[in-house]
C-alpha cells in the first residue's frame, strides 16, 4: 500500500482503469460498452473499478491523488496476500515440520514481479492469478466442479485465463482415466464446462443483455486476443531474445517463417509436452494439476507469441 501510494503507476492502463470506473458509474453496465469506446477488458473486474470510482466520487478524490493509486491497488494486493497465504497452507500440508512452506510464502509475498506489477504499475494480475491458483489447488483435491467455477471467475476477469484451458481439459480427462465410474466422470466433464462458463455469462448479463450476451462476449474475448499483434511486448522470453520485442506478427524471423507461425509451432510443442507429462504422471501416480499449470503457464509465456511481461504471473 505504501508503494502504491508513492508511485504513479503505468499511465496508459491507469487512465483506462480510472476512466472505465467513471464510465460504469455514470452510464451503468448496459451503457458501458458503447460503440467506438475502447474497453478491452471483459466485465468481471469492471465492478471493482466502478466501486473505486464511487469511493473517489464520495470523497472527491482527484485522479492525481495518491489515494486513487492506493484504491486501485487494494483488491490485487489483498489477492497477492491471499496467494502467499495459500502457498504457505499448501506447503504445510505437504511438509508440516519444515520451514520450506514459510520460505515459499515469503517468496510470493516479496516477489519483485508481484510487488512491481501490483503496487507500482497498479495492474490486476494478482486478482486474476488467485482464482487460477485456487482452481488448480482444488483439482489437486479432485474437487472438479468448484475448480471449474473458479476457472470461470478468472476467465471473467482476464481473457488470459484461456491460456490455462488446456491444463483444465487435461485434468478433467485424467479424472476419467483415474475414476472407476467412467460415466460419472464424463458427466462431470460436461458439468465442469458449463460451470466454467457460468461466471463470464452471469457477469456479462448486465452489460450485454440476454439476447446479445453470447455473441458480444465472444466478440470481446476475440477482440482482446487480437488487439496486440506483436511477437512479444516487453516479455522477457525466447521471442524477445530473438529480437521480437514489438515486432509485428507477420514479420519474418528466419527462412520465411513469421513470428506468428513460430509462436503457434511452439504452442504445439508445449501442449504436446503437457499431454506427455500428464499421461506419464497419471501412470506413475504423481499427477499434479498445480505443477502442470505452472509448467504450461511458464512454457507458453517463454515460447509463444503475443506475450506481455505480466503473463508470467500465474505460472
The yes-or-no verdict on residue 175 having pLDDT over 90 is no
Under 8 Å between Cβ of 296 and 274: yes
Positive or negative, the CA dihedral 82, 87, 88, 90 is positive
Q: How far is CA 309 from the centre of its chain?
A: 13
Rounded (10°) angle between helices 182-225 and 165-178: 170
Percent of the chain with pLDDT over 70: 100
The model's pTM? 0.94
pLDDT computed for residue 181 by the predictor: 75
pLDDT for 125: 95
Calculate mean pLDDT across residues 281-295: 95
The tens digit of pLDDT for each residue in 57-114 reads: 999 999 989 999 999 999 999 999 999 999 999 999 989 999 999 999 999 999 999 9
* Reported confidence tier of residue 256, pLDDT bands at 50, 70, 90: very high
Residues contacting 231, CB < 8 A, separation 6+? 239, 240, 244, 245, 246, 247, 248, 249, 251, 253, 259, 263, 305, 306
* Matching residue, cell 484504491: 71
Q: Left (φ > 0), alpha (ψ -120 to 50) or beta: where does 69 sit?
A: alpha
Note the pLDDT tens digit of each residue in 3-24.
999 998 899 999 999 999 999 9
Question: Three-class SS of residue 245?
Answer: strand
Amino acid at each position: 500500500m505504501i508503494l502504491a501510494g508513492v508511485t504513479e503507476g503505468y499511465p496508459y492502463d491507469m487512465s483506462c482503469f480510472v476512466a472505465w470506473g467513471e464510465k460504469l458509474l455514470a452510464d451503468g453496465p448496459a451503457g458501458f460498452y458503447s460503440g467506438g469506446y475502447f474497453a478491452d477488458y471483459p466485465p468481471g473486474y469492471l465492478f471493482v473499478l466502478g466501486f473505486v470510482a464511487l469511493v473517489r466520487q464520495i470523497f472527491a478524490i482527484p485522479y492525481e491523488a495518491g489515494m486513487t493509486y492506493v484504491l486501485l491497488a487494494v483488491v490485487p494486493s489483498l489477492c497477492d496476500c491471499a496467494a502467499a497465504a495459500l502457498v504457505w497452507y499448501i506447503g504445510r500440508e505437504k511438509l508440516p515440520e519444515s520451514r520450506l512452506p514459510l520460505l515459499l510464502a515469503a517468496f510470493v509475498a516479496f516477489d519483485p514481479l508481484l510487488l512491481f506489477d501490483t503496487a507500482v504499475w497498479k495492474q490486476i494480475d494478482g486478482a486474476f492469478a488467485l482464482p487460477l491458483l485456487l482452481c488448480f489447488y482444488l483439482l489437486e483435491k479432485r474437487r472438479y466442479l468448484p475448480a471449474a467455477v473458479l476457472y470461470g471467475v478468472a476467465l471473467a476477469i482476464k481473457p488470459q485465463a484461456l491460456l490455462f484451458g488446456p491444463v483444465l481439459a487435461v485434468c478433467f480427462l485424467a479424472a476419467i482415466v483415474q475414476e472407476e465410474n467412467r460415466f460419472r466422470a464424463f458427466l462431470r466433464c460436461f458439468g465442469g464446462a458449463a460451470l466454467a462458463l457460468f461466471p463470464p455469462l452471469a457477469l456479462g448479463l448486465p452489460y450485454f443483455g440476454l439476447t446479445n450476451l453470447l455473441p458480444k462476449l465472444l466478440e470481446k474475448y476475440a477482440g482482446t486476443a487480437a488487439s496486440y499483434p506483436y511477437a512479444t511486448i516487453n516479455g522477457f522470453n525466447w521471442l524477445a531474445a530473438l529480437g521480437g520485442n514489438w515486432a509485428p506478427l507477420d514479420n519474418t524471423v528466419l527462412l520465411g517463417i513469421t513470428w506468428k507461425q513460430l509462436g503457434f509451432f511452439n504452442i504445439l510443442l508445449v501442449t504436446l509436452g503437457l499431454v506427455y507429462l500428464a499421461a506419464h504422471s497419471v501412470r506413475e501416480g504423481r499427477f499434479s494439476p498445480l505443477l502442470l499449470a505452472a509448467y504450461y503457464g511458464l512454457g507458453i509465456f517463454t515460447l509463444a507469441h503475443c506475450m506481455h511481461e505480466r503473463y508470467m504471473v500465474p505460472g
